[in-house]
Amino acid sequence: SKSCIILGIETSCDDTGCAIVDSEGNILGEALHSQHLVHLNNGGIIPPIAQDLHRANIERVVNEAVQSSGIPFKEIDAIAATVKPGLPLSLMIGTKYSKYLCRKHDKPFMPIHHMEAHALTARMCDKSVEFPFLVLLISGGHCLVAVAERVDKFLLLGESLDDAPGEAFDKVARRMKLKNLPEYSKLSGGQAVELAARKADNPLAYKFTIPLQQYKNCNFSFSGIKNQLLLHLQREEILHDVPADRVIPGVYNLCAGFQIVVTRHICHRVQRAMEYAARKNLVPPDKQTLVVSGGAACNNFIKGGLKMVCDEYGYKIVRPPPKFCTDNGVMIAWNGVERFKENIGIYHDWEHIDVENS
Ligand code: KG4
Ligand code: ZN
């Protein structure tokens, strides 16, 4: 397969990322600007603000990645950028800036699907991951389980019917006011809940029920779990007469209970996916691999639960290091590499390619 050097740009949500990666998966240069703190203070992402911040940072981030690589533009084979799915206003900045670079340096453009990139990053981090493999993507915006059959072919087995898991973590963290505890003030909702849960003295203090247990498919649902938590929370706030800016006394146990039921639900759906994949012969019985990625895959408790399922079903679990689970430029550049090697999705005539929302 062809050797190449690809520059990748990610702006689908609230991270401005750029990286230069070669065909062997060496990261030659990278840079990332996170808007996390701004959105945390706003209580969520306001799309026009995210767009302004991408616009203000993209040039600096790209220059930083290019300069740290020491690679002259003439050695770069193509420019890859996320075009979907994501916030259209955010996607637009990365796509437009990439096209500007393509025009300026006379390079082909490679439109990238954000979820494909999350899934394929595992092949850069662990060279033993071969197609077909099972992949679970859990982030702030997405939740799906699929069979990755080829670079550009995924068979979707299930997805969330409502919230994504990271979104549920973010919403309950905000409602529990974890941000008012100094040690969690700068963390994402998911990180805050995971750390708070470790302090629980009775993780089963609050009762939760696992959603969709009666359904024999691989779909997910997180809004019901979120609502169960909110009910427990309201009840405690009233019983203990908790002031508006304070957390409830049982907050650590509540975090732990939430994290346990989220994990059990995810594990059940993944078990279903493994059984379905076996029945339909979608994965080779001797080389079964589960790739787990997306921001919520950083959660070590969830990873621990999935590891137990994998051990039981004879799967190897591959989770990229946390910095590659969350959004970054490296995954986009690597997705460009995977496509370039197979000669797919390389556009010399790219004017017509636009941001798509799906
Ligand atoms: O992949 P990502 O950077 O952006 C999206 O594409 O959504 O994921 C960000 C999400 C946030 O919702 C955040 O709360 C969640 O990932 N997250 C976690 C953890 N770390 C980040 N969720 C659960 N546990 C964690 N440790
Ligand atoms: Zn993502």
Instruction: Tell whether the model's pLDDT for residue 266 goes beyond 90.
Output: yes
Is residue 331 domain-shared with residue 301, that is, in the same domain?
A: no
Do 333 and 271 sit in the same domain of this protein? no
Residue 348 has a pLDDT of: 94
Considering the domain architecture, whether residues 209 and 246 belong to the same structural domain is answered as yes
- How many structural domains does the chain have? 2
Instruction: Give helix 223-239 / helix 165-176 axis angle, nearest 10°.
Output: 10
Distance 39 CA to ligand 2 centre (A): 16
Residue % of the chain over a pLDDT of 90: 95
| Contact by Cβ (8 Å): 146, 274 | no
Do 265 and 195 belong together in one domain?
A: yes
Asked whether residue 350 is assigned to any structural domain, the reply reads no
Per-residue pLDDT, averaged over 124-131, amounts to: 98
The residue segments making up the domain with residue 26 are: 5-125+324-341
Are 145 and 69 in a shared domain? Answer: no
Would you say residue 121 lies in a domain?
A: yes
97 Cα to the center of ligand 1, angstroms: 26
* pLDDT for the residue numbered 355: 84
| Amino acid 48: pLDDT | 97
353, part of any domain: no
The b-or-e profile of 79-115 (16+ CB within 10 A means b, else e) is bbbbbbbbbbbbbbbbbbbbbebbeeeebbbbbbbbb
**Interatomic CA distance for residues 278 and 357, integer angstroms:** 33
The answer, yes or no, to whether any atom of ligand 1 lies below 6 A from the CB of 296, is yes
Mutate which of 11, 259, 260, 326 for ligand 1? The one with the most ligand atoms within 8 Å of its CB, which is: 326
pLDDT of amino acid 163: 97
Q: Cα separation of 220 and 339, whole Å?
A: 30
Parallel, antiparallel, or unpaired for β 15-22 and 27-34?
antiparallel
22 Cβ below 6 A of ligand 1: no
Does residue 121 line the site of ligand 1, with CB under 6 A?
Answer: no
Span 306-327, pLDDT tens digits: 999 999 999 999 999 999 999 9
Flag whether 16 is in a domain.
yes
Residue 231: which residues within 8 A CB-CB, separation 6 or more?
none
Backbone angles phi, psi at 81, to 5 degrees: -145, 145
Assess whether the C-beta atom of 295 lies below 6 angstroms from ligand 1.
yes
What's the Rg (C-alpha) of the chain?
21
pLDDT of residue 352: 86
What are the DSSP calls for 247-287, one per residue? --TTHHHHHHHHHHHHHHHHHHHHHHHHHHHHHTT-S-TTS
Q: Which segments of the chain are extended strands (E)?
A: 5-10, 15-22, 27-34, 78-84, 109-113, 133-138, 143-150, 153-159, 289-293, 316-318
Q: With respect to residue 357, please indicate whether it lies within any of the assigned structural domains.
A: no
CA proximity to 208, closest of 163, 162, 264, 250: 264
In a domain, 179, yes or no: yes
Pair (119, 139) in one structural domain? no
Q: What is the mean pLDDT of the chain?
A: 96
- Are residues 30 and 94 located together in one domain of the fold? yes
Looking at residue 119, which CATH number applies to its domain?
3.30.420.40
The model's confidence at residue 254, banded by pLDDT at 50, 70 and 90, is very high
Task: For ligand 1, say whether the CB of 194 is within 6 Å of any of its atoms.
Answer: yes
Q: What is the pLDDT of residues 158-169, one digit of tens each?
A: 999 999 999 999
Per the domain annotation, does 358 fall within a domain? no
Residue 141 near ligand 1, beta carbon < 6 Å: yes
Ion ligand 2: residues, CB < 5 A: 139, 327
Which phi and psi (to 5°) does residue 335 adopt? -60, -40
Residue 322's H or E segment, with its range, is helix 322-325
Torsion sign, CA atoms 64, 65, 66, 70: positive
Ligand 1 pocket, residue 82 CB under 6 Å: no
Residue nearest to atom 8 of ligand 1 (CA): 295
| Structural domain includes residue 298 | yes
211 ligand 1 Cβ < 6 A:
no
Identify whether residues 335 and 243 lie together within a single domain: no
98 with 143, same domain?
Answer: no
Q: 326 alpha carbon to ligand 2 midpoint, in Å?
A: 6
What would the pLDDT profile of 66-111 be if each residue is shown by its tens digit? 999 999 999 999 999 999 999 999 999 999 999 999 999 999 999 9
- State whether 225 and 119 are in the same domain: no
Same domain, yes or no, for 54 and 169?
no
C-beta of 305 in contact with ligand 1 (< 6 A) = no
Q: Which ligand has an atom closest to residue 166 CA?
A: 1
- Sheet containing strand 15-22, edge to edge, reads 27-34, 15-22, 5-10, 78-84, 109-113
pLDDT of amino acid 272: 97
pLDDT, one tens digit per residue, over 164-196 is 999 999 999 999 999 999 999 999 999 999 999
Domain shared by 164 and 283, yes or no = yes
pLDDT at 2: 80
pLDDT number for residue 357: 54
Strand partners, 206: none
Residue nearest to atom 19 of ligand 1 (CA): 190
Over range 242-252, report the average pLDDT. Answer: 95
Question: Which residues contact residue 227 at a Cβ distance below 8 angstroms, ignoring those fewer than 6 apart?
Answer: none
Q: How far is the C-alpha of 184 from the C-alpha of 344, rounded, in Å?
A: 44
Distance 139 CA to ligand 1 centre (A): 5
- Sheet order of strands, 133-138 included: 153-159, 143-150, 133-138, 289-293, 316-318
What separation in angstroms does the CA of 170 have from each of 137, 272, 296?
Answer: 17, 27, 10
